[in-house]
Amino acid sequence: NIKAEPQAELPEAQSAIVAVKRRHQEDMRSIQEDMTLHQQKGDEENQSYQGALVPFPEKWSLCNFFISSSDTGKMVNMENPMMEYIELENLGSGAFGEVSRALDISTEREVAIKKINLQERIRKEAIAYELMVMKMNRNPNIVTYLESYLVGKHLWLVMEYMDGGTLRDIIIETQMSEGEIAVVSRECLQGLDFLHSNHVIHRDVKSCNILLRTDGSVKLADFGLSAQLTPEQSRQSSVAGTSGWMAPEVVTGQPYGPKMDIWSFGIVGIEMAEREVPYWNETPVLPQLLIDIRGTPKLCQTNLFSFLLRDFLSCCLQTDEAQRWSAEELLQHPFVTLAEPVSSLVPLIISEKLRKEEKTLG
């Protein structure tokens, strides 16, 4: 039997963490130099925002931010953005704005463009952090950041286009096999292990933030709620995430670390197996409150699933954070180690893509 074992908390001082902090300081120095920092106590209190890399003053220049955050160091203030991109399709709207599929005219490749309205200060801070996390944490299991543009009062965040849609699209239409669940689990855990080893917590892991490509690639996306741990702050305490996927320690306001993402992914595992988020339909009671009433979320029809899958989910969904497995440990679980290559997902992803295209044409 595989039993969960306690894992020590991140040490307060570690050379790897210091290196991450130094890299952050270098990337953010130009931003801080161009900002007009408010020194009054009241201003400092107004500037606080959980999860932000640096405090943003009440008044700051969009131009200065953009110049500081661009790869080239030059602001691209586009009067006519269609000179660079041809929009092909609106992919939907999110908390910070709409996302479009577009063609990069210079490279002739498809990209995804997230258009963020920068009118509100909190949105500036959240997207600034998302931009930094994506730029500084490049990995095969994380959606790749390409470029950013300031278009009037909007920030265009250009990313690689994941032509297979979201994992949620698959879950809604298809009953995934355990083999397919294992492959997706391995790829997501590889992304989470990379983030956690760099002391980043995603804080919003859910099926619609996991993107797919028709070559079988599986990548984590949407880092607007991410948090960076530092030697001074190795734990977080702010409530962040989406109801239904939040870990118990987050809901109760307890300090938490990277393992909150593991609980969230455990909920995704149940989604993949049973096509529903546990307790989601039990309104008006919030899903996380039902944990106290009905216990840890579990598969409803356990007899339909293997011991390995049940045990894997149990390791993810330990209410005691200390007993919950880390991403690194879960990658050694037999359910994951026996998973096939990502190419095994291709038929599933292409089938869903064709179904969506037929629906659109019909």
Residue 267: name the closest of 257, 259, 277 by CA.
277
> How long is the chain?
362
Convert the pLDDT of each residue in 182-228 to its tens digit: 999 999 999 999 999 988 898 889 999 999 999 999 999 988 777 77
- Distance from C-alpha of 119 to C-alpha of 121, rounded to nearest angstrom: 7
Q: Name which of 276-280, 283-287, 296-300, 346-350 the model is least confident about.
A: 283-287
The answer to whether the predicted template modeling score (pTM) of the entire model surpasses 0.95 is: no
Mean per-residue pLDDT over the chain, rounded: 75
pLDDT band at 65 (very low <50, low <70, confident <90, very high): very low
Superfamily of domain 167-358: Transferase(Phosphotransferase) domain 1 (1.10.510.10)
Please say whether the beta carbons of 160 and 147 come within 8 A: no
Q: Which stretches of the chain are assigned E, i.e. beta strand? A: 85-93, 97-104, 109-117, 145-151, 154-160, 200-201, 210-212, 218-220, 227-228
Please say whether the beta carbons of 258 and 327 come within 8 A: yes
Tell me the domain boundaries of the chain: 15-160, 167-358
Catalytic residue list: 204
Please say whether the beta carbons of 212 and 166 come within 8 A: yes
Question: Which CATH number among 3.30.70.920, 3.30.200.20, 3.40.50.720, 3.30.365.10 corresponds to the domain 15-160?
Answer: 3.30.200.20
Residue 162: name the closest of 176, 146, 183, 150 by CA.
146
Q: What angle do CA 306, 327, 341 make, to 5 degrees?
A: 60
CB atoms within 10 A of CB 28: 16
Cα radius of gyration rounded to whole Å, the chain: 21
